[in-house]
Amino acid sequence: MGMQGRSGCGNPSAHQTRRLAPVRFGWMLAVVVCLCSACACKTGGAGAQSGEAAFTCENGYDNFVVPGDDGYYLLCQNLISYWDGNLEHQASPICNRPHCAHDALDCPAVVYVGIANKMFYVDGSLYLFGMFPESDSVTGSNGYPLWKVAADGSTKEIAFSTKEMPCQYTIFQDVVYYEFRTEDEEGKNVCSVWKQPLSGGEEEKLWETQLQECGVHRLQSSGGVIYFEESGIDRKVDLKDPSLVFEELEVEENAYTYDAATGKLESVPLVDEKENKRIVMRNVYQGVQYYSYYQKEEEQPWKSGGELWAKELDEEGEAACLGSYMPYASTVDCAYIYAEWRTEDQKRIGLKVYDFAGDEIFEFLLDEDTWSEWIPANEQYVFGYLEKLVDKEQGQVVHSIVVLQRDKIADGTAQMIPLVTVEPN
Ligand SMILES: [Zn+2]
């Protein structure tokens, strides 16, 4: 499947309107945008560095499965596990301390992760940002730690700490790129992007927003560049003003790339927008942007389908429509489109898988009160992250990671095989 258009797709207009930011509806609607190139299934294989070439498709929010030298590291809730790739085996925490309950920070397999459900594997160690300020007796340090965890669970240390909590981050070639939000003297949110070597050292600011009420909602590496997007308002507004009509605010959205080799920061022309439609999701993978649209007035985009478009990041060329899919297409890999759908009563979510001919080849329904995100991995596996609300009053959630065999998707017999489950405390 190349970048050529498909019949049934209208051309996007060149009309350059402001566009609304994609919204993340809390943890209920995880807008998974984990997209491989539609042209080629590049697999980095064992030991590939995360963020580039690795078979996993890092997206702005998630990177919960990363390849190791012989198997897979899984980040489920706050627990790091290892799975050897054998479907007869479960994953197990990387901690090998006897009698450890793996439920506290002194366990090497436990890290309290932040907003980004991400982890990276570099030279035998796993790196991930922790969520809570570390000023406790375990570490004695202040700030938000980038944990360096030996993949064999033998050690856990802090590579460095940042003063603010990074919301989004990625790792590329031994450098971590991260974004956080601070307030200026007037109480305005200021987003900025920074970089720092994994080994610690000088923190360098790469970018700072010019918008009001800014949010950075994607930061990832792709094709040798660090890609990120911001949304915000280009004029000063008082969000507490009761006369403010929120729907009338024009939200500006911009995208940028930072070339890791040259240090050049560039603004990326965003894709053409179709009249009165708004982009619901995008991802950048192997230098290609992917996105869909839905009607601006539509409040529940997951109920309707949409066209899936692709455009190369570094070219002026036309965007191409990859097809039109009735349920909400959330994830794409080199052969399949993964779509989230809901039952008529909206109570249950399922997964439908299509091929690029537009034919539905596989579907299943999750339990009630369960949400999922999917990472199409290599030729063999697709991984799912499930969150099941088990106690509505207490808001208790069971987290699990499951795997699907890719060749069984093709013949319609794939089943979710659980690898790791983390019960609520
Ligand atoms: Zn442990």
What are the boundaries of each domain within the chain? 34-422
CA of 101 to the centre of ligand 1 (A): 6
Type of residue numbered 353:
V
| Euclidean distance between CA atoms 268 and 234, whole angstroms | 18
Mean pLDDT across 259-272? 81
CA of 98 to the centre of ligand 1 (A): 8
Polymer length of the chain: 425
- Give yes or no for a contact between 94 and 79, defined as CB atoms under 8 angstroms apart: no
Q: Which residues of 232-245 are buried (b: 16+ CB within 10 A; e: fewer)?
A: bbeeeeeeeeeeee
CA neighbor of 272 nearest in space, from 25, 16, 1: 16
CA of 108 to the centre of ligand 1 (A): 6
CA of 255 to the centre of ligand 1 (A): 41
Query: How far, in whole angstroms, is CA 305 from its chain's centroid?
Result: 21
CA of 164 to the centre of ligand 1 (A): 28
Please tell me the pTM assigned to this model. 0.79
Q: Which residues of 92-104 are buried (b: 16+ CB within 10 A; e: fewer)?
A: bbbbeeeebebee
57: left (phi over 0), alpha (psi -120 to 50) or beta: beta
CA neighbor of 389 nearest in space, from 23, 25, 28: 28
CA of 371 to the centre of ligand 1 (A): 27
| Euclidean distance between CA atoms 183 and 24, whole angstroms | 22
- Residue 21: predicted pLDDT: 27
- Cα-atom radius of gyration of the chain, to the nearest Å? 21
Tokens 């949400």, residue located: 371
- Give yes or no for a contact between 56 and 43, defined as CB atoms under 8 angstroms apart: no
Residue range 4-51, pLDDT digits in tens: 333 333 333 322 222 222 222 222 222 222 222 223 334 333 333 333
Instruction: Read off the tokens for 157.
Output: 């240390």
- Give yes or no for a contact between 82 and 73, defined as CB atoms under 8 angstroms apart: yes
CA of 270 to the centre of ligand 1 (A): 45
- Give yes or no for a contact between 425 and 103, defined as CB atoms under 8 angstroms apart: yes
Lowest mean pLDDT among 11-15, 222-226, 272-276, 392-396: 11-15
Q: SS3 of 79, please?
A: strand
CATH topology of domain 34-422: Methylamine Dehydrogenase; Chain H (2.130.10)
CA neighbor of 325 nearest in space, from 316, 311, 336: 336
Residue range 279-320, pLDDT digits in tens: 655 566 666 777 776 666 666 655 555 677 777 776 666 777
CA of 60 to the centre of ligand 1 (A): 29
CA of 393 to the centre of ligand 1 (A): 30
CA of 329 to the centre of ligand 1 (A): 38
Q: Please check the confidence at residue 377 and state whether its pLDDT lies above 90.
A: no
CA of 119 to the centre of ligand 1 (A): 18
CA of 114 to the centre of ligand 1 (A): 20
| Euclidean distance between CA atoms 151 and 380, whole angstroms | 23
Tokens 């700030």, residue located: 143
CA of 392 to the centre of ligand 1 (A): 29
